[in-house]
Amino acid sequence: MAPKCVEAGSLSMSGGSERSIRSYKDLDVWQKSMALAEDCYRATSEFPRDEIYGMTAQMRRAAVSIPANIAEGYGRDQTGPFIQFLRIANGSTRELETHVILSGRIGLLHKDSSRQAARRL
């Protein structure tokens, strides 16, 4: 069962096309946030070993939190809780953005990678 704001069935998209939403996995925002989390894991795998419990862990935790909160909110089957979990996911996005900016400033991420990641957020 989907929250009322994302009723199961067809959903008209911005290009005029319609798609069926049967699960949180069908949501574009969940799919994009999963791709972002994967990118974060790849980028932080190149961080120095001494950052494993520092910036690496912080960035990965924030990145994973985004799709996880979208999925959890969708699973609540009510609009109010779903919106609240979307707000939490948005907060995690801003947290990750801050970590990306700082990582670029202190040289953990190359400036180009930092700018590119910040644009995706």
Q: What is the pLDDT of residue 20?
A: 84
The full DSSP string for 46-64 is TS-GGGTTTHHHHHHHHHH
For residues 21-47, average pLDDT: 95
For residues 31-44, average pLDDT: 95
What domain count does the chain have? 1
Phi, psi of 17 (to 5 degrees): -80, 160
Query: CA 59 to CA 28: how far, in whole Å?
Result: 22
Quote the strand ranges of 29-115, DSSP E: none
In a domain, 12, yes or no: no
- Going by pLDDT thresholds of 50, 70 and 90, the confidence category of residue 113 is low
Q: What are the distances in angstroms from CA 105 to CA 31, 73, 111?
A: 29, 34, 8
In a domain, 39, yes or no: yes
The CATH number of the domain holding residue 45 is 1.20.1440.60
In a domain, 104, yes or no: yes
For residues 59-64, average pLDDT: 98
In a domain, 14, yes or no: no
In a domain, 18, yes or no: no
- Domain carrying residue 35: 24-120
Q: What are the distances in angstroms from CA 10 to CA 17, 27, 29, 62?
A: 10, 12, 16, 31
In a domain, 7, yes or no: no
Q: What is the pLDDT of residue 11?
A: 45
In a domain, 8, yes or no: no
In a domain, 2, yes or no: no
